[in-house]
Chain A
Amino acid sequence: MKIIIPVTKVKKVATERSIRIVEKTIARTVEAGNFLTNIADGFLFVTRVAKETFSRNFEFKEFMRQCYQIGNKSLPLISVTGLIIGVVLTIQMRPALVSFGAVSMLPGMVAISLIREMGPVITALICAGKISSGMGAELGSMRVSEQIDAMEVSSVNPFKYLVVTRVLAATLMIPLLVLYADALGILGCWAGANIKGDVTFVLFASQAFGHIGFNDLMPAIIKTFFFGAVIGIVGCYKGYTAGRGTESVGIAANSAVVLASLLVIIIDLIAVQITDML
């Protein structure tokens, strides 16, 4: 059977298809352009943070207020999370170690996994949710309600007052929160070990800390400074560059959480690779 398709119809279909291809290509190019522009904007933002940090008239009072906001107000959440992680890890690991007759290794294993990985990453992810979104929403609403513009026209540097203080406070406070979460996690581990066993705290501490060395502690602490910086920078960037409508406040808060969490995981991956090479 021979199918005859009119030439005009073939031409029309071909033309429509080529128009669609061209339109799609343009849309993808624009998307790629926007993506690259965002990366360039982010890079400029980070450069400005670094530059303004070392400029004159540092806003010390606001920096201390932000340290209080980030550190003190996150304590209840971090306390509960750290303690529960310690208990849960212990309960989960215990049966496997019992079957090998290595239950005495439990405190050391939990302490190492908490200090090297679980403590920093889980604390950073919680802080990405709480702090980064808070910064995004706060600065975003200040942008929408023209408060940032008001600072600018009154000859005050809003970037130094709002962004630099928040980024530095996050960079300093997240490592402290991680150490606090680690300590509570280890305490939770002791509590977990005593649910089905009977271990004195002195014996538990000697078993836990006996396995922790410099190579466990230092890389973990160093990477938390990067976590803190990323959480602060992403939250401030999303809020400071928010659009004008009220909808943009929600978008800034939401995208701050998503991007900060993603970057925390990526930094963790890089840190693990570097630590492994050392």
Chain B
Amino acid sequence: MSATPTTTVDYGRAESPVQVIEVNNLRKGFGTEDVLMNVSLKLFNGENLVVLGKSGSGKSVLIKCIVRLLDPDEGTIKVFGEDVSTLNQFELGELRKKIGFLFQSGALYDSMTVKQNLEFPLRRIKRDLNQKEINEKVEEVLENVGLPDTLDKMPSQLSGGMRKRISLARTLMIDPSIMLYDEPTTGLDPVTSDEISTLINAVQKKYKTSSIIITHDIECARTTADRVIMLLNGEVYMEGELTEFEKSTDTSIKSFFK
């Protein structure tokens, strides 16, 4: 069952959407077990693509393959037209500068303060910036995620929602063109989840990013999705707009939207 959108679909951000990510026939397994089987998807410029699926359906594996934290067993992944699997370390590093990745756990460096966490990638990627410019950038991104007073705090002093925001701020330090969110609202209360979902939209608007949002939180999908893909047993089960999913009579999909 599939409702694949055509490339002429306009999500209100571009007249003729350009593909920024193209995944073709991706297969990834661990040991004898296949987690992803023949997965294909496209992410267009300026859209929010939500990937829904139960735990263990391979959602996180999918985006880890996109940034080559994991190597696919079969299939191709193109980001901005470049085949990720053929890039050398330098080329991969250059490509990763255009991609922001929000980890499920936040993955803040726990031996560093919030300020040091934010400065860490910027100091190494844009070595020509002086301290004043770095400070301005840090203040700007903290303002954007709504946590301007946390500069000197350690990650252990932050709540779950704050950690997610700071982690998002860290990815924004390098002005990414693509954002990959791995379960951005998991483990958060409904109010904070809603704030994070709103923040995802705000980031997309301000930084003009294209995003893949991995989630099983329907409210998050409702707030952020331009288009939705549902993974089931490692395969794309359905693709389309959220309203199509909500109207679906398929039991697997209905059970998700209860």
Contact = CB atoms under 8 A, between A and B. Distances in A.
Given A149-B69, A150-B101, A155 B107 contact: no
A147 B171 contact: no
A156 B120 contact: yes
B107 A150 contact: yes
B121 A146 contact: no
Interface in A176-226: none
A150 B99 CA distance: 12
Contacts of B94: 155
Indicate the member of B96, B120, B124 with the most A CB atoms within 10 Å: B124
A260 to B, nearest CB: 22
Interface in B147-173: 170-171
B97 A155 contact: yes
A15 interface: no
Interface string B99-111: 1010111011110
A145 B107 CA distance: 6
Contacts of B109: 142, 147, 150-151
A153 B124 contact: no
A154 B108 CA distance: 12
Contacts of A153: 67, 69, 96, 99, 101
A152 interface: yes
Contacts of A156: 120-121, 124-125
Indicate the member of B64, B69, B94 with the most A CB atoms within 10 Å: B69
Interface in A125-164: 142, 145-147, 149-157
Nearest to B98: A155
Interface in A42-78: 57
Given A147-B110, A149-B69, A155 B105 contact: no
Contact of B121 (A57, A145, A155): A155
B96 A154 contact: yes
Given A154-B170, A155-B93, A155-B96, A149 B121 contact: no
Contacts of A145: 105, 107, 110
A195 to B, nearest CB: 45
B96 to A, nearest CB: 4
B210 to A, nearest CB: 16
Nearest to B112: A147
Contact of A154 (B104, B105, B121): B121
Nearest to B103: A146
Bin the interface of chain A by size. 10 to 19
Indicate the member of B103, B105, B107, B120 with the most A CB atoms within 10 Å: B107
B67 A146 contact: no
A217 B101 CA distance: 53
Interface in B59-101: 64, 67, 69, 93-94, 96-97, 99, 101
A149 B120 contact: no
Nearest to B117: A150
B36 interface: no
B174 interface: yes
A40 to B, nearest CB: 18
A176 to B, nearest CB: 24
A152 B107 contact: no
Given A153-B69, A155-B93, A146 B125 contact: no
A240 to B, nearest CB: 15
Contacts of A154: 96, 101, 120-121, 125, 170-171, 174
Interface of A: 57, 142, 145-147, 149-157
Interface of B: 64, 67, 69, 93-94, 96-97, 99, 101, 103-105, 107-110, 120-121, 124-125, 127, 170-171, 174
21 contacts: A57-B124, A142-B109, A145-B105, A145-B110, A146-B107, A147-B108, A149-B69, A149-B103, A150-B101, A151-B120, A152-B96, A153-B96, A154-B120, A154-B125, A154-B171, A154-B174, A155-B93, A155-B174, A156-B120, A156-B125, A157-B93
8 pairs of A and B residues whose beta carbons are closest in the complex: A150-B107, A154-B121, A146-B107, A153-B101, A155-B96, A155-B93, A155-B97, A146-B103
